[in-house]
Structure 1
Amino acid sequence: MAAVYSAGLALAIAAPASAETLAEAIALAYDSNPTLQAQRATQRALDENWVQARAGYRPQAQVSGSVAYADIRTPGLGDYIDTNGDGIRDTLVGGRRDDNSASATLQLNQPLYTGGRVAAAVNAAEADILAGREQLRRTEAVVLQSVIQAYADTRRDQEGLRIREENVRVLQRQLDESQARFDVGEITRTDVAQSEARLAAAEAQLSQAQAQLASSRAVYAAVVGQNPGDLAPEPPLSDLLPADVTQAYEAAENNNPQIRQAQYAEQGSRARLAAAKAEHMPSLGLTGSLGYTGQADPWSGEDSSRTVRAGATLTVPLFTGGLTSSRVRAASERHNAERINVEIARRAVMQSLTQAWNQHLASKANIASTDQQVRAARIAAEGTKQEQEVGLRTTLDVLNAEQELRNAELSQVSARRDEFVASSLVLSQMGRLEAPMLDVGVTRYDPATNFNKNRITWGWVPWEEPIAVVDGVLTPKTVEKPTTPQPPPAPK
């Protein structure tokens, strides 16, 4: 018990003294949560796929060069002589020569028509980026849901600890009263023992409550980024929820990031199917080169030869041994799988939404029941204590009444927590669990900013747009522009 209490005390000392709100916790997690930061970096890396795909429209230039040295010996064209006077001919004269050469070439290639290969690759990259944005929204919702649950769990456990501490104080007073009445002979030793047993059980429950609170605080610190202080009550979410489940279903169909991600994945697979079919099409490009060849040592530009070439290259695939047809069939089946995954995602979301909605309704009804239970238990506890003072109730009756009151208070706290978490789950499945939900001052992270920055960057050439139009004539655009989900209004 002492170790648990020390751990809880250490966390309390590290926590800020002022009350924190859920909006402040969400804002801090939105800016600093490592899971969210990593997903944003992944999305920025995914944006580069579009730049890499568009590079297929742009010219490619490369320079190559070489330097060679040759020691040429030709038997029969010379004769060996004696150079050191020992009578042995050891040096070849006239049949050996040195040679060196150097060359440099600049080569340019400009695609004019790729048969739709590049157009399909660009479409696939766009679909992947849009699917990545939905994955980012999904990650944001998961992180915010974790913040909300950690906040609600910590609030619940703080209230639970307060109730357990109050229970220990009440039972301690009850034990003191029982001991005093036993000393004057009004009750028996059995009544005192009953009070002692209940107090010992309450102290054990207090230790458990301290450990549970320490665990919830650790989860809060891991998700939010700081230890919780004195947490303010949770704001109501009723203004954000629809009037009935039908409206929730419609919102999920349009805004749920899991469904939208599956839809963009299907569009990406459709674009890759078009890219596989484009392998049957011819391609056309311009080529040019400038080369110099001459002696390396000594180098002389006047004595070197220069070669300039320019031309057009038309490539028509005739026979690939069935490779291209196999790739088309494989891409077609992958597209079928992604198309089916859209329905899988929709059913999973509808199942989760139905469960969260019913949990919300049950928890909401449970709040009213526990409120009434607490009121009745409090009246019963007071009445039982007064009746004990006049001899109409026993010590055990008082202890049972106090226990029922504490259990009712704990049920009330848990019901409020469950209703709040269930409401946030409904919002999450609807695709409306956004950071500005509770804090309009949060600066929304826009993944399109990085993408727009890279649309015209190093390597862009002005003639790639008409080439893209020509290349996409036979490759219809498969990616539909997304509709940005409207954020819900902040609750009152």
Structure 2
Amino acid sequence: MFISRRAGLLAAVFSAGLAFGSPAAAESLADAIALAYQTNPTLQAQRATLRALDESTVQARSGWRPTLSASASGTHSEQRTPGQSGVVDINGDGIPDATVSGGVSHASTAQGGLSVSQAIWTGGRVASAVSAAQADVLAGQENLRRIEAEVLGGVIVAYVDVRRDIEALRIRQDNVQVLRRQLEESDARFEVGEITRTDVAQSQARLAAAEAQMRSAEAQLAISRAAYAAIVGQNPGDLEPEPPLAPILPPSVEAAFEAAEVNNPQVRQAMYNAQAAEARVAAARAERMPNLALSGTVGWSGDTEPFEPSDYSRAVTGRATLTVPLFTGGLTNSRVRAARARETASELGVEQARRTALQNVTQAWSQLLAARAIIGSTDEQVRAARIAAEGVRQEQQVGLRTTIDVLNAEQELRAAELAQISARRDEYVAATSVLSAVGRLDAANLIPEVDRYDAQANSRDLRFTWGWVPWEEPIGLVDSAFVPVTEELPRDTPMATAN
């Protein structure tokens, strides 16, 4: 497995030089996102972690369910009494229970029983644990959304990086071809005495620099392809142009702020953590409350030699236990104070998460506006640089420009083209950052046609799994009378991306 993956990454390196060779299968951004969404190990591991967290609710609810246990034991004893015979008492209960024969006595007994216990009222202990577990599960679902946004955002960045570097390599290759023709032209003109050796040397120097830049562009493309393969799971093919993100972008920065407060996964996770902290305060307070439970046992005991089931004795015991805490040495009060302090910290964490989300929205939105403005500037720069390069070449033909003027004009044109493709890449990445900050960078918005992972399905399946009993619900209802209930926060409806 490791060798095959390493071979795949090496293939990404060696295939970079073939980017403009034989055509590969067309691949869209939606294809890359769908593949990463289904196979990325980071995302898969987080889903497994959430499924493990779902079990905490089942474990908490078990406090309302009965417990049943069975026990069994067997005893065999041998007693040697030289010179004695008759009936003797082996187990010391005052009743002769074994016959000594030839100075050796044997006795075998067996015992077994069943015990059942059912909590009737826990003073809110179990209800608080259930409420806290439910809040933890909801917080875990928001953490999964955060990881999903990071992975899908990484896919988008890797995709546009590969497309940018492919275009950059094309520009560098075109530059080498143009400079090679310029060198050939300079050599020819030098042979007829139109220019000096200095002009030829300048052309040679620019060509050597362009070739070095082309090699650097090839290396950068190989690096981007490897990053793409690492996050998506396969090497990039012939990448199609990325679709516009405008349909799911907020129309204004004010709308982005409002969406972030409702949908941002970090904010929502902090809110659920605050609910869990509130439930744990209630759990600490519940330690002061009485606890009522019913229990019963039934047991059998008798001899195994000879084995006669009708001779076995049976004992049945029923018990109702009311436990009232009176004095714990300050332990309960200390736990309540500690839980309150953690609740305060969680509430402050909500405010910190909200401020961070708004800061991220501001930064991403500012970068988006700047990138859009830069795109306009670079488009104008490329248009003007092309006109200038063509004019300088024509002026050189009539002796109005020198070789270095032509070389400088070509260099300015290539720099403008590289700036243009970088600006378009930066604009798309900035739009992705906005979507991440407002909580819309998820599969529901990016690939709505793909079957999505239901983070709540496992939790719903565990609600009535093995161990559930019908009377659990009324017991839980009574136990939850004075316990804060975990509330699921509303979210905006997902928006489809226009492809």
Aligned partner of 1:306 in structure 2 is 314
Q: Structure 2 counterpart of 1:487, which letter?
A: P
Residue 289 of structure 1 corresponds to which residue in structure 2? 297
Query: What residue in structure 2 maps to residue 334 of structure 1?
Result: 342
Is the partner of 1:143 in helix, strand or coil? helix
In the TM superposition, residue 69 of structure 1 has moved relative to its aligned partner by 2.2
Q: Which residue matches 1:121?
A: 129
* 1:175-212 residue CA offsets vs partner (Å, 9 max, x unmatched): 00000111111110000000000000000000100000
Letter in 2 for 1:210: E
Instruction: Return the alpha-carbon distance in structure 1 between the equivalents of residues 477 and 287 of structure 2.
Output: 18
Give how far 1:259 is off. 0.3
More moved, 161-170 vs 4-13: 4-13
- Overall identity of the aligned pairs, in %: 60
Is 1:196 aligned to residue 204 of structure 2?
yes
Q: Determine if contact 1:11/1:214 at 8 Å carries over to the other structure.
A: no
Determine the C-alpha separation between the residues in 2 that align with 1:294 and 1:374: 100
In structure 2, which of residues 189, 211, 218 is the aligned counterpart of residue 210 of structure 1?
218
The question of whether the paired residues in 2 share the 8 Å contact of 1:16 and 1:228 is answered with no
Structure 2 counterpart of 1:444, one-letter code = R
Aligned pair in 2 of structure 1 residues 93, 458: CA closer, same or farther (>3 Å)?
closer
Alignment partners' CA distance in 1, 2:430 and 2:479: 51
Contact residue 4 and residue 207 of structure 1 kept, 8 A: no
**Equivalents in 1 of 2:160, 2:13: separation in Å?**
23
User: Which residue in the other structure is 2:405 paired with?
Assistant: 397
Letter of the structure 1 residue corresponding to residue 76 of structure 2: Y
Distance in 1 of aligned mates of 2:254 and 2:12: 48
CA offsets 1:97-142 (integer angstroms, 9 cap, x no match): 3332210010011111011111001101110110011011111111
In structure 1, what residue type is equivalent to 2:490? T
1:7 Cα deviation (Å)? 2.1
State whether residues 284 and 336 of structure 2, in contact with CA within 8 Å, keep that contact through their aligned partners in structure 1: yes
Q: Letter of the 1:44 partner, please give it.
A: R
C-alpha distance 72-11 of structure 1, shift in aligned 2 (>3 A): farther
> Where do 5+ consecutive residues of structure 2 fail to align?
1-9, 87-99
Q: Which runs of 5+ in 1 are unaligned?
A: 80-91
Pairing 1:448–2:460 present = no
CA distance in 1, matches of 2:12, 2:70: 72
Aligned position for 1:487: 494
Deviation at 1:369, TM superposition (A): 0.1
User: Do 2:12 and 2:229's aligned partners in 1 also have CA atoms closer than 8 Å?
Assistant: no
Of 163, 172, 186, 2:171 maps to: 163
SS in 2 for 1:289: strand
Residue 224 of structure 1 aligns with which residue?
A: 232
Cα gap change, 1:48/1:6 in structure 2, threshold over 3 Å: closer, same or farther? Answer: closer
Which whole-Å CA distance do the structure 1 matches of 2:131 and 2:231 have between them?
37
Tell me the equivalent position of 2:332.
Answer: 324
The answer for the alignment partner of 2:50 in structure 1 is 43
d(CA) in 2 for partners of 1:449, 1:269: 25
For residue 370 of structure 2, what is the aligned residue in structure 1?
A: 362
Q: By how many angstroms is 1:439 displaced?
A: 2.9
SS in 1 for 2:167: helix
Q: Which shifted more, 468-477 or 254-263?
A: 468-477
The answer as to whether partners of 2:16 and 2:218 remain within 8 angstroms in 1 is no
Q: 1:336–1:76: structure 2 CA closer, same or farther, 3 Å change rule?
A: farther
Deviations 1:428-457 (A, max 9, x none): 100011213343311121111111111111
Instruction: Return the match for 2:111 from 94, 103, 109.
Output: 103
Identify which of 478, 489, 495 aligns with 1:470: 478
Structure 2 partner of 1:137: 145
What is the one-letter code of the residue matched to 1:199? L
Q: Are 2:481 and 1:460 aligned?
A: no
Distance 1:223 1:484 in 2: 28
SS at match of 2:311: coil
CA distance in 1, matches of 2:315, 2:285: 38
Aligned residues of 2:13 and 2:222 also touching (Cα < 8 A)? no
Q: CA deviation at 1:296?
A: 2.8
How big is the shift at 1:332? 1.4
Q: How does 1:175-190 map to 2 (within 5 A)?
A: 175-190=183-198
Distance (Å, rounded) in 2 between the aligned partners of 1:15 and 1:254: 48
User: Residues of 2 paired with 1:177 and 1:115: CA distance?
Assistant: 94
Q: What SS does structure 2 have at the residue aligned with 1:104?
A: strand
Mapped contact 1:8–1:210 kept (Cα < 8 A): no
User: Aligned in 2, Cα 1:304/1:11: closer, same or farther, shift over 3 Å?
Assistant: farther
- Verify the 8 A CA contact 1:15 1:227 in the aligned structure 2: no
Letter in 2 for 1:287: S
State whether residues 8 and 213 of structure 1, in contact with CA within 8 Å, keep that contact through their aligned partners in structure 2.
no
Q: How many residues align?
A: 477
Question: Cα–Cα, structure 1 residues 217 and 9, in superposed 2: closer, same or farther, change >3 Å?
Answer: closer
Match of 1:66 in 2: 73
- Partner secondary structure for residue 348 of structure 2: helix
Provide the rounded CA distance (Å) in 1 between the counterparts of 2:117 and 2:11: 72
Q: CA deviation at 1:66?
A: 0.9
CA distance in 1: counterparts of 2:286 and 2:21, whole angstroms: 63
Structure 1 partner of 2:96? none
| Higher mean C-alpha displacement, 364-373 vs 300-309 | 300-309
Alpha-carbon offset, residue 412 of structure 1: 0.2
Secondary structure (helix, strand or coil) at the match of 1:158 reads: helix
How do residues 79-94 of structure 1 correspond to structure 2 at under 5 angstroms? none
1:319 Cα offset (Å)? 1.7
- In structure 2, which of residues 243, 266, 269 is the aligned counterpart of residue 261 of structure 1? 269
* Pair 1:146-2:154 in alignment: yes
Separation in 1 of the partners of 2:258 and 2:83? 94
Deviation of 1:484 (Å) = 3.7
Is the CA contact 1:22–1:234 (under 8 Å) kept in the aligned structure 2?
yes
- CA distance in structure 2 between the partners assigned to 1:202 and 1:279 by the alignment: 76
Larger mean CA deviation between 343-352 and 64-73 belongs to 64-73
Provide, for residues 122-179 of structure 1, a one-character-per-residue CA deviation record: whole Å limited to 9, x for no partner. Answer: 1011101100110111111111100110011111101100000000000000000000
Quick one: distance in 2 between partners of 1:254 and 1:15? 48
Please give the residue correspondences for 1:414-433 in structure 2 after superposition, counting only pairs within 5 Å: 414-433=422-441
Paired AA for residue 165 in structure 1: Q
AA matched with 2:157 = Q
Matched residues in 1 for 2:29 and 2:108: separation? 77
Relative distance call for 1:328 and 1:239 in structure 2 (3 A) is same
* Normalised TM-score (structure 1): 0.93
Distance in 1 between the 2:181 and 2:408 partners? Answer: 15
